[in-house]
């Protein structure tokens, strides 16, 4: 990944909940710029512009060319805070990075060839993203892991993704971590036994026939 999204920010001098609330009512998102060759600076960006920047194929690993007061910084978004109900972005950190130095990222893992796995098995993806150290301009949007030819009991691990990392990059997670397994289907009897062991009770049956009529009569009283 090498494409950058351009985003213009305004420096802000007023801080606190009141000032941040007023910014949000104006369609802007408060944030802070910090990191490589920049003093921590409070900023704000357009909410719609930020939304589009965060919804490219790169996702949270998008490179943002943040322009503030005539200066431009290569940044990545960090610590994005959302409203718990409305989902709107409340605050975002912009980490300025050196394009020649590795940064910590989480790279999504996409499974492919699922139709070519064991027909009687169940594909169970355990790990959906892997931590890695990669130069900003080289971060992949995602890694693909084929499950073709996998049988029940087979496992694919982080080490099976290693050939997709750019030269010099490395995983920041144990290579033996399981990414995907093929599980045997669980019978209805086994499922019931597991639910019973977990203390999960079957739902009460609904009243029918005479019992239902009696219940209705009781309700009318």
Model pLDDT for residues 66-99, shown as the tens digit of each residue:
999 899 999 999 999 998 988 889 999 999 999 9
Q: Which pLDDT band, with edges at 50, 70 and 90, does 108 fall under? A: very high
Name, of 1-10, 83-92, 210-219, the range with top average pLDDT.
83-92
- Looking at the fold, whether 132 and 56 belong to one and the same domain comes out as no
Domain assignment present for 42: yes
* Predicted local distance difference test score (pLDDT) of residue 172: 96
- Looking at the fold, whether 91 and 50 belong to one and the same domain comes out as yes
Q: Is the pLDDT of residue 220 over 50?
A: no
* Predicted local distance difference test score (pLDDT) of residue 212: 47
Tell me the mean pLDDT in the region 177-186.
Answer: 92
Strand partners, 155: 181
Greatest CA separation found in the chain? 80
Total of domains in the chain? 2
Domain assignment present for 157: yes
Distances 73 to 12, 52, 132, 133, 178 between C-alpha atoms, Å: 17, 18, 22, 20, 37
Share of the chain above pLDDT 90, in %: 65
d(CA 214, CA 208): 10
- Looking at the fold, whether 145 and 174 belong to one and the same domain comes out as yes
Q: Is the pLDDT of residue 28 over 70?
A: yes
- Alpha-carbon dihedral of residues 176, 182, 187, 193, nearest 10 degrees? 10
Are 178 and 157 a contacting pair, CB within 8 Å?
yes
Domain that residue 72 falls in: 4-97
Higher pLDDT pick, 198 / 170: 170
Tell me the mean pLDDT in the region 36-49.
Answer: 95
- Looking at the fold, whether 8 and 92 belong to one and the same domain comes out as yes
- Looking at the fold, whether 65 and 132 belong to one and the same domain comes out as no
Q: Is the pLDDT of residue 46 over 90?
A: yes
Q: Is the pLDDT of residue 155 over 60?
A: yes
Q: Which pLDDT band, with edges at 50, 70 and 90, does 204 fall under? A: low
Domain assignment present for 209: no
User: Between vectors from CA 183 to CA 182 and to CA 187, what angle results, nearest 5°?
Assistant: 150
* Predicted local distance difference test score (pLDDT) of residue 118: 80
What's 125's domain CATH number?
Answer: 2.170.120.20
What's 44's domain CATH number?
Answer: 2.40.240.10
* Predicted local distance difference test score (pLDDT) of residue 197: 74
- Looking at the fold, whether 145 and 184 belong to one and the same domain comes out as yes
Output phi, psi for 196, to 5 deg.
-65, -40
Q: Is the pLDDT of residue 213 over 80?
A: no
């Amino acid at each position: 990944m090498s494409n950058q999204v351009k985003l213009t920010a305004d420096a802000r001098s007023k801080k606190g909940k009141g000032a941040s609330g007023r910014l949000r009512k104006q369609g802007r998102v408060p944030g802070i710029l910090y990191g490589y060759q920049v003093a921590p600076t409070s900023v704000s960006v357009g909410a719609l512009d930020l939304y589009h920047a965060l919804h490219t194929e790169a996702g949270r690993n998008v490179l943002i060319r943040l322009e503030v007061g005539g200066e431009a910084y290569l940044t990545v978004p960090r610590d994005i805070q959302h409203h718990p109900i409305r989902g709107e972005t409340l605050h975002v950190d912009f980490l300025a990075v050196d394009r020649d130095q590795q940064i910590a990222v989480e790279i999504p893992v996409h499974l492919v060839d699922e139709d070519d796995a064991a027909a009687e098995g169940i594909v169970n993806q355990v790990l959906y993203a892997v931590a890695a150290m990669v130069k900003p301009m080289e971060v992949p949007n995602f890694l693909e892991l084929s499950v073709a030819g996998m049988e029940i009991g087979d496992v694919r691990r982080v080490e099976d993704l290693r050939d997709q990392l750019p030269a010099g990059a490395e995983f920041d997670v144990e290579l033996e971590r399981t990414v995907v397994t093929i599980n045997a289907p669980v019978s209805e009897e086994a499922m019931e036994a597991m639910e019973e062991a977990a203390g999960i009770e079957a739902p009460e049956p609904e009243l029918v026939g005479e019992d239902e009529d009696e219940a209705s009569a009781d309700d009318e009283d």
